[in-house]
Homo-oligomer: A and B are copies of this chain.
Amino acid sequence: MTSPNTLIFMELAIQQAKLALDALEVPVGCVIVEDGKVIASGRNRTTETRNATRHAEMEAIDVLLEQWQKNGLSMTEVAKKFSNCSLYVTCEPCIMCASALATLGIKDVFYGCSNDKFGGCGSILSLHLKDTASLNKGFKCAGGIMATEAIILLRTFYDQGNPNAPKPHRPLAHQATT
């Protein structure tokens, strides 16, 4: 699964996560690829928007679907295009994002580190698996791609202390070392 192209696209997702880190956001980034080309990118913007649902995936999805709407694509054309898309994201999609991706019918998802608290692609729930009971068609999914880079970015963020967490889960770095 980790072809050279996979690594190239994941590197672009990591660049998005770095932009998020620079903006004091939880550093998660993604790109959406169609026919071997990046057609959208997104990064976590929960702090900037004060909206805890504005994860990287939702940002990239909305950019793309708004563009297709402006281009006058029908619902069927949008669904067909999305079914040819791959998502590369630095962290396993959460339950909300995994459900959104399944609803939209994405072809496949490649992610970096797993999301042990909210992961929707195996860690907490397995929304990528086909489920006839819920009519979820699922999507192909592979994790652990450049996971170390993704984790380093997240650790960098949390070691600084998340300034937006109501109650920090761990002591701030400068407090811990003084």
**Chain A interface (Cβ within 8 Å of chain B)?**
46-47, 49-53, 58, 61-62, 65-66, 68-69, 73-76, 78-79, 94-96, 99-100, 103-104, 117-118, 120, 124-125, 127, 133-136, 164, 166
User: Are B96 and A73 in contact, CB atoms less than 8 angstroms apart?
Assistant: no
- Give every chain B residue within 8 A of A99 (Cβ-Cβ): 94-96, 99, 118, 120
Nearest chain B residue, comparing its CB with the CB of A51? B65
Among B51, B61, B65, B104, contact of A61 (Cβ-Cβ < 8 Å):
B51
Among B58, B68, B127, contact of A53 (Cβ-Cβ < 8 Å):
B58
Among B49, B66, B96, contact of A69 (Cβ-Cβ < 8 Å):
B49
Q: Tell me how many chains of this kind the complex includes.
A: 2
- Nearest Cβ on chain B to A133's Cβ, whole angstroms: 7
- Give every chain B residue within 8 A of A96 (Cβ-Cβ): 96, 99-100, 103
User: Are B95 and A127 in contact, CB atoms less than 8 angstroms apart?
Assistant: yes
- Give every chain B residue within 8 A of A74 (Cβ-Cβ): 50
- Give every chain B residue within 8 A of A46 (Cβ-Cβ): 75
Q: When chains A and B are docked, how far (Å) is the Cα of A50 from the Cα of B78?
A: 7
- Nearest Cβ on chain B to A169's Cβ, whole angstroms: 10
- Give every chain B residue within 8 A of A166 (Cβ-Cβ): 75-76, 79
User: Are A134 and B124 in contact, CB atoms less than 8 angstroms apart?
Assistant: yes
Residue of A51, A58, A69, A94 with most partner-chain B CB within 10 A: A51
Q: When chains A and B are docked, how far (Å) is the Cα of A49 from the Cα of B121?
A: 27
User: Are A69 and B53 in contact, CB atoms less than 8 angstroms apart?
Assistant: no
Known: A75-B164, A134-B118, A164-B75. A100 touches B53 (CB 8 A): yes
Q: When chains A and B are docked, how far (Å) is the Cα of A124 from the Cα of B95?
A: 13
